[in-house]
Structures are given as C-alpha cells and as structure tokens.
Amino acid sequence: MRAAKLPRLGRRQGLLVPLPLLLAGVDLVVFSRSHEEICRAHVARHGWLRLVTFGGYPAWMFATTGVAMVAGAVWLGIWIAAM
C-alpha cells in the first residue's frame, strides 16, 4: 500500500511559515516597554516567576529578542524562497 502523495507547498504558501515569527518579533520590538511593565506586574503577583525572570526582564531584552526573531524569520523566508 502506497502513501498518498501530498501537493508540495508552493513558494508563496511557504513564505507564510515564518510570518508568525516575524510578527511576534516586530511586536516585541515595538511594544518592549509595555512588555516590561506587564512582566514586572506578573512577577510581583506570582513569586515563582522571580526564579525564572530574575525579577523581570528589562525592555532592552524584549527588543533584542524581537530583533533576533525578525532576523530569524527573514533568514527562514529567504531559505524557503530559494528552495
């Protein structure tokens, strides 16, 4: 019994794969200050988060993570387009 052949994902559809990563990265860069405030509020409310976040992440850390995510999404998009 042979497996059913699935259609190959086209380049245009394939470029949708890194889109959520790109949008999340842009969100982290644009709203890094509000993410910092929200993180601090959650750490104050839930003491166990202090162990994970060391008291809350600063805005620059959210922005740096966002830039890395955008760079990864762009690289992934270029790699998919080149296939």
82 pLDDT more than 90: no
Please report the sign of the dihedral spanned by the C-alpha atoms of residue 43, residue 45, residue 47, residue 48. Answer: negative
What is residue 6's predicted lDDT score, i.e. its pLDDT?
45
Orientation angle between helical segments 32-45 and 59-82, nearest 10 degrees = 120
For residue 24, give its domain range.
Answer: 15-82
Q: Total domain count for the chain?
A: 1
Per-residue pLDDT tens digits for 8-36: 666 777 788 899 999 999 999 999 999 99
